[in-house]
Structure 1
């Protein structure tokens, strides 16, 4: 009888050890399953063939979907501006010497660091404005997007085929916006972006503005912009080069930024 109880006890301890050992493996497999799901969802979407080739030319949509956070810095006349974003939740923080704008996943907030009135972009749109431009072309894989062929863009004797992007109602703060991605017909690299602006008063909301993408840097296997050049525009065509924005200290990671980073500070105010 003693031997029986001893055997049962050993069996119980051995089973408990097996259960305890299995738990970390289950946690790891869940994280792996989440990444696999993101990649599989991207594969299941019916992207236009030419857009898929653009994604591939920039490192591949599967690689982008495996990433969880993006941080980059812009060196501006008034100091460095740092933008960090969690790619899945779109929690975001834009920080410069004069102000900080944050999005906690539900609400936008503003912290004005000066005694003067805030003079930047409307925080409701400004917190992710440069992130959106910077994450091209991969940001165009988001849900709620419609694709169509656009008239090619001819610049300096080169014809760039175009892909028009529109949004379903209720997608983002400005679903009426329209974008046109123009790509190099040989390399399939994105070279131009045409876009409408609907959140700035007093300008034509249907006319295309332009930015040029022709200088890239490789980060974690993906081609991301090193510089983006803003252009003048007329009749839905770019005219002369204007301001060039350089992006430095770029970090693209498979790890999320802690959500506490995006919580509103006590002195900040929520934006309605």
Structure 2
């Protein structure tokens, strides 16, 4: 990453840590618990233990779930993922054709899936999702040239794998093993119950290394109804992890390369996007009302 980006990410991270922590919503937590939890981190240990125990029981009841649970353990464990608190990172999404670049530093409430993004080019341009309302506060219409409501939680479904699949309403299927880049992979497909989140027709197909239990790649589709009001979805893409780092006990991907799955050769199709991820941190607190719509912001999903 460029030095200027890293320094900017660090400054933004320090602003979060100084307090010292229409996207798919987490369906594993009752609404009452989400409201209380978001008001006062750290999450009580009893809540984390209950959630992890529930996921453990549910996942280990099936062969596909057992594979996913082992992946969560290899990536640091679901308990560590939640007890670490708010998750911040710089996510730089760069299509090779130069169109649709999306570059922001973001903080995610992993417990209740809330998000706040700052533009890297101008940190005063911000957007977010507070669990019910998507909002944006930008200097003008050119500040964000992409759908910020859709993108508010999209990066966590890259950087949060496999933990983002722990909830109820997620259906898992074990597919046939495959060899990918010379390594045997256990393959788990995740789909969603009707009405879960803003795009229940989405799916993810995880390639989980049979030796390390780490996620090496995943396939996915986008079926966001705002883009496909009559049904359907975008072509499937294959996203390949480009390296990992360990932050506060959690193994995280430092980048991805994306390919079109159609007409794939040797497991990969046309190379289309680079994604660089950096400036990771976890923190137990953020400022009051950090994810709420700030004064002067526009509501996107009225």
TM-score above 0.5, yes or no: yes
Partner of 2:262 in structure 1?
234
Report the CA distance shift for 1:241/1:46 in structure 2 as closer, same or farther (over 3 A): same
Deviates most, 179-188 or 202-211: 202-211
CA contact (8 A) 2:74 2:214 kept: yes
- From the two aligned structures, give the one with the greater helix fraction: 1
CA contact (8 A) 1:209 1:238 kept: no
Relative contact order, CA 8 A, sep 6+: which one is greater? 2
Greater C-alpha radius of gyration: 1
Q: Does 1:66 align with 2:66?
A: no
Partner of 1:266 in structure 2?
295
Report the CA distance shift for 1:256/1:144 in structure 2 as closer, same or farther (over 3 A): farther
- From the two aligned structures, give the one with the greater strand fraction: 1
Partner of 2:55 in structure 1?
42
Give the number of aligned pairs: 242
Q: Does 1:131 align with 2:160?
A: no
Partner of 1:146 in structure 2?
171
TM-score with structure 1 length normalisation?
0.78
Q: Does 1:83 align with 2:106?
A: yes
Deviations 1:43-78 (A, max 9, x none): 332342211211121112222232321000135788
Partner of 2:11 in structure 1?
none
Partner of 2:277 in structure 1?
247
CA contact (8 A) 2:263 2:269 kept: no
Structure 1: unaligned runs, 5 residues or longer: 1-29
TM-score with structure 2 length normalisation?
0.71
Q: Distance in 2 between matches of 1:186 and 1:142?
A: 25
Structure 2: unaligned runs, 5 residues or longer: 1-42, 95-100
Q: Distance in 2 between matches of 1:262 and 1:157?
A: 43
CA contact (8 A) 2:104 2:118 kept: yes
